[in-house]
Amino acid sequence: MNSLISIVGAGPGDPELLTIKALKRIQEADCILHDALVSEEILNLAKPEAQRIYVGKIYQDGQDQTDRQDWINQLIIELAAKGQKVVRLKSGDPMIFGRGAEEIRFCIENGLHYEAIPGVTSALGAASLYGIPLTERGKNSMVLFGTGHYCEGDFCDLQTFVSVLKSGSPIIFFMGLNKLVKLAQRLIDLEVSPEIKVQILSKVSQPDSSALEGTLGTIAQILETEKPAMPALVIIGENIERLSR
């Protein structure tokens, strides 16, 4: 059996940001299990006879995530039993809010031949493309990745967010746009300066990408008229001005 399960990061959307290894696996694949945010341009790099199976989710689509993952796992088992080369294609990097760890554990538990191939996470892609310094000599020495998820009625890790922002370091929020207005208010409530900058970066690296900026104190008013496209990253921090426009 020559089956190989490749858990591949597709990057933020631009095919030219794929790694060489990711491109090779996509071109060699017999079957590609792909998420919602993988671009059509990247999928079209596969050989014509390769099977494509959509296994993604969209925000508030009503799917039960346990059932969805069980279905994906069953597909992986069935395709591996046929000796196929399978690419589990995820946007960004598989190990950053991509559930890559769950699928790696599944492959290990079931004795499957697998590999994981890194991708450019949208957070780092956005920072480079827009010239946003996530770390800069003399200003800050760390960056935090987070989400806008709730824990017991408030934001998870809220006190950590406050401490990081007060230190001068930025936070990049994945999946946080829909809760941004409430998050901004909670941070201000906890004495984070309303003058701290906010960047909203939509469809990073794609032809219809866009950027919107404000502050914690102004972002609610801005979002009353502006409707950033999804998917969008939110970067909050004292020193995150965009150097590239």
Catalytic residue among 35, 90, 93, 203: 35
For 102-125, write each residue's pLDDT tens digit: 999 999 999 999 999 999 999 999
Residue 62: the pLDDT is 59
Residue 191: the pLDDT is 97
Residue 124: the pLDDT is 95
For 156-171, write each residue's pLDDT tens digit: 999 999 999 999 999 9
**57 and 110 fall within a common domain:** yes
Predicted confidence band of residue 99 (pLDDT cuts 50, 70, 90): confident
Predicted confidence band of residue 208 (pLDDT cuts 50, 70, 90): very high
Residue 96: the pLDDT is 95
- Give me the DSSP letters along 75-122: HHHHHHHTT-EEEEEESB-TTSSS-HHHHHHHHHHTT--EEEE----H
Whether 57 is catalytic: yes
Residue 237: the pLDDT is 97
**143 and 111 fall within a common domain:** no
38 domain residue, yes or no: yes
Residue 243: the pLDDT is 87
Catalytic residue among 21, 24, 30, 57: 57
Residue 77: the pLDDT is 95
Contact 12, 69 (CB under 8 A): no
What domain count does the chain have? 2
For 41-84, write each residue's pLDDT tens digit: 999 999 999 999 999 876 555 567 778 889 999 999 999 999 99
Residue where a domain terminates, one of 120, 147, 181: 120
**150 and 209 fall within a common domain:** yes
**108 and 137 fall within a common domain:** no
Residue 60: the pLDDT is 54
Residue 98: the pLDDT is 85
Which residue range is the domain that position 136 belongs to? 123-237
Residue 66: the pLDDT is 79
**218 and 233 fall within a common domain:** yes
**109 and 62 fall within a common domain:** yes
244 domain residue, yes or no: no
Model pTM score = 0.91
**23 and 106 fall within a common domain:** yes
Contact 54, 32 (CB under 8 A): no
196 domain residue, yes or no: yes
Residue 245 has pLDDT above 80, yes or no: no
**140 and 228 fall within a common domain:** yes
Q: For the chain, what percent of residues have pLDDT higher than 90?
A: 85
For 26-44, write each residue's pLDDT tens digit: 999 999 999 999 999 999 9
Whether 47 is catalytic: no
Contact 84, 52 (CB under 8 A): no
Residue 63: the pLDDT is 67
89 domain residue, yes or no: yes
- Residue 50: CATH number of its domain: 3.40.1010.10
Contact 55, 86 (CB under 8 A): no
**159 and 111 fall within a common domain:** no
Residue where a domain terminates, one of 59, 87, 120: 120
Residue where a domain terminates, one of 94, 120, 146: 120
**149 and 70 fall within a common domain:** no
**79 and 14 fall within a common domain:** yes
CA dihedral sign of residues 230, 98, 53, 86: positive
Residue 61: the pLDDT is 58
Residue 18 has pLDDT above 80, yes or no: yes
Neighbour count for residue 141 (Cβ, 10 Å): 11
